[in-house]
Amino acid sequence: MSVEPVKFGRKRPVPKSPNPLFLKWLTELRDVAAEKGTKMQFVYQKAISSLNKYPLPLKNGKEAKILQNFGDGICKILDDKLAQYYAENGPDAPIHSMNEGDPPKLRRSKTPPGATRGPLSPEGQPEPAPCKRVGFKKTRDYVPQKRSGGYAVLVTLYRDHQRAGSRGFMTKAELQREAQPLCDKSFTVSDPGSKYTAWSSVSTLIQKDLLLKTNSPARYSLTEKGLELAEKLEERGAEQGQPGGAPASLPGVPENKGGEILDLTEGEEEEPPEDKGKGGPVPVDEARGDWRRGEGGWGSGSGNGPDAAGSKASSERPPPAYRHVPGFVLSPGTFDIVLCVDFIETTGGSSGRKQELVTELRKNGVDFDVRKLNVGDFLWTARERVRYIPGQLRAPQARELVLDYIVERKRMDDLCGSIIDGRFREQKFRLKRCGLKKPIYLVEDYGSAQHLSIPESTLLQAVVNTQVVDGFFIKRTRDVRESAAYLTVMTRYLQSMFMNKTLLSCTKEEEPLCDRASSPASSSCILMSFGEFNEGAVKNKAQTVRELLARQLMQISGISGDKAAAILGKYSTLTSLLQAYEECPTVEAREKLLSGIKYGKLQRNIGPALSKTVCQLYCTVGALH
C-alpha cells in the first residue's frame, strides 16, 4: 500500500489585511505587554484576532469599535497613533497599504525544528515557503516626507553641522525656530482636534537612532546615521531647485525666474504685523516667518547684532548674537496686568486672617486672580484680552506672560518656623532659579517676637542676609493691611510701566539667552509664558544629577545657594567631585580641595573649614562621629 507524502502549509493563501498599520501597532502593544508580563497581552491578542477577520479598511480607531474585543481604550490608542503617524508623514500618507513595511507575522511558526512547511518539489524535496521564516522581514529605511516635522529637524541640524563654528548641537527653542520655515505644520501649536505638533516627530527620530538627545535643558544632535540621511535629504532638495526647503511657489512671493537668490527682506521695516484678531490668537505662521528677518530681531536693541552667516568664522570672534523669535506677541492695548495670588494665601490656618488680605485688595480695586503657584506667593502676569465668539460656549483661552517680579510673603512667626525646618533656604534657592529676575521678600511684623523660639535679633539678621547676600529686595510692613497696600501700589506701578510695551513670549530654555528689557525706556520686552514658568517651578519634579547634588550640599550647615552654585560650577556631578577627591595625594589636600572656590558677588573663598566639612561627608567610610 502506497503512502502519500505529507504536505505542509495552508490550502489557500491568506489574504492581506486591509488594515496593516492597525495590526502593526496592536502587535507592538501586545509584544510590549508580553515582555512586561501583564494581562493586557491577551486583550491585544483578542483585538488582533478580531481585526484579522474583518475584511474592510478602517479609516480610524473609532470605526473599529464595531468589532469584538475593541473597547474605548484600544480605539483611543489607535486614534492617537494615527494622529502621530499623520503628523510625521503628512495628512495624505497611506494607511491601508504597506508595500515593504508590512507588519510582522502575528503568529509564530509551530513547526518543530528541522521540519519545513510548504508544497513538495517534483524531486520529493520540500520547497521553502517565501517570507515564512520567523525573524526575517524585509524593511525599508525610514525617510521622512518632505516638509514634515522630521524632515525639517534633520535638515536644520545638518545645516547647523555644516556651519563654521557650530557647537555640534541645538537647543529645542533654536531647533524649533530654525526648522519652522522648512515645515508646513507648526512646531508649537497643534491643529484643531489634535494634540500633536510637528515636534512630535522628534520622538520617532530618536527611536530610529537618527537623533541624539542629551543634557538638561535638552540638546539635540545628529547621529552618524542621521547625518547620512540628512545629507541625502539636503542633496535631494538641492536637485529639485529648492535649496531653502521652501515650497516651489508661495502666495504673495514674486517668482524668481533668473535663478538668482532674491532678498525678500530688503526694504522691510522691523515692525511686527498688526494683531488682526484684535486681541485674538496670532497665527503661528505669521509669528514665525517675518519677525526673524529683522537685523537684531526683537529684543532690546543693544543685545542683538546682525546675522554673522556671511562673515568669516574666527575662533577668536564671539558667537553670533542670539536673535529671538517669539511664539506669540501681546501688543499694547490687548492685555491687562493682573496680580496672581497663591491659593494658600487665602485658605488654611485662620480663615479670617487669610481673607483679610483678599478683602483689602478688593477694597483697593485690584484686579487679582487666585490660583496655584508652584513658587512664590504673589506675582504679576500680562493676560491677553479675549472676546466671546458667537456660537461658542466659552471664550478662547487667554495667553499669559509672567512679569519679572515675584513676592514671597513671610510673617515673623512663619519666618521663624521656616528657618528651623529648613524651608527658608530652600525657598530662596527655588526663587533664585525660577527664572524671574526681581524676587521680593515681603516681611510682615506680627505682634511681639518675644514668644518665638529664635531671638528677634537672629530673625532680623536672616532678613538682612537675604537682602545683602542673596540679592533679594526686602519690604517690611507692619500688618496685613499695609502688605495689601504695597501689593496695590506695585500692581498700579506695573500697569503704568507695561501698558505701552510690546510683550514677546519665550520659553524657559530661551530665557537665559534673551535680553529681557523691562526698563521704562524700552518699547518691548521678552517674558516667559505663565505655563512655562509654573511648570518649571514644580517642587517635586524629576531632577537632574546636578540639581540633586545642589540639594545635598545645601543640607550642610553653612552652605548657601551661592556657595552650592560655586561648587557646582567646578564639579557639576557627584561623580566628578568624588573623582577629584580620589586624585588628591594626601588627606590634607582633600580637605582643602574646595577652600579656594570663590562664590557670590564679593567673590569670597569658601574657606578651609567648610571645605573640610564637605570632605568628611563624602570621603568618610561609615558613620560620622
Question: Active site residue: 160, 275, 360, 377, which one?
Answer: 377
Phi and psi for 455 in degrees, rounded to 5? -55, 150
**Nearest in space to 442 (alpha carbons), one of 423, 467, 425:** 467
Phi and psi for 41 in degrees, rounded to 5? -60, -35
Phi and psi for 410 in degrees, rounded to 5? -135, 120
**Per-position DSSP letters for 207-269, written without gaps between them:** HTTSEEEETTTTEEEE-HHHHHHHHHHHHHHHHTT-TT---S--TT-----SSPPP-TTTT--
The total of other beta-carbon atoms located within 10 Å of residue 519's CB is: 8
**Per-position DSSP letters for 97-120, written without gaps between them:** --SS-PPPPSS---PPTT---SPB
377 is catalytic: yes
The cell 508652584 sits on which residue? 374
**Nearest in space to 252 (alpha carbons), one of 273, 271, 279:** 273
Name the residue type at position 562. Answer: D
* Distance of alpha carbon 80 from alpha carbon 29, whole angstroms: 13
Span between the terminal Cα atoms of the chain, in Å: 94
Given a contact cutoff of 8 angstroms between Cβ atoms, the answer to whether 197 and 149 are in contact is: yes
**Nearest in space to 525 (alpha carbons), one of 294, 299, 330, 295:** 299
* Distance of alpha carbon 400 from alpha carbon 403, whole angstroms: 10
Given a contact cutoff of 8 angstroms between Cβ atoms, the answer to whether 597 and 606 are in contact is: yes
275 is catalytic: no
The cell 537672629 sits on which residue? 458
Phi and psi for 328 in degrees, rounded to 5? -155, 165
Tell me the β-bridge partners of 315. none
The cell 516626507 sits on which residue? 145
Question: Active site residue: 342, 444, 470, 591, which one?
Answer: 342
- SS3 track for 36-68: HCCCHHHHHHHHHHHHHHCCCCCCCCHHHHHCC
Question: How many Cα atoms are found within 13 Å in the side-chain-facing hemisphere of 289?
Answer: 14
Contacts of 441 (CB under 8 A, 6+ apart): 407, 408, 410, 463, 466, 467, 472, 473, 474, 475
Alpha helices in 290-433 (DSSP H): 351-363, 412-421, 423-432
- SS3 track for 318-331: CCCCCCCCCCCEEC
**Nearest in space to 523 (alpha carbons), one of 547, 542, 503:** 503
User: Three-class SS of residue 526?
Assistant: strand
Tell me the β-bridge partners of 368. 339
345 is catalytic: yes
Question: Active site residue: 28, 270, 286, 345, which one?
Answer: 345
Looking at the annotation, which residues are catalytic? 342, 345, 377
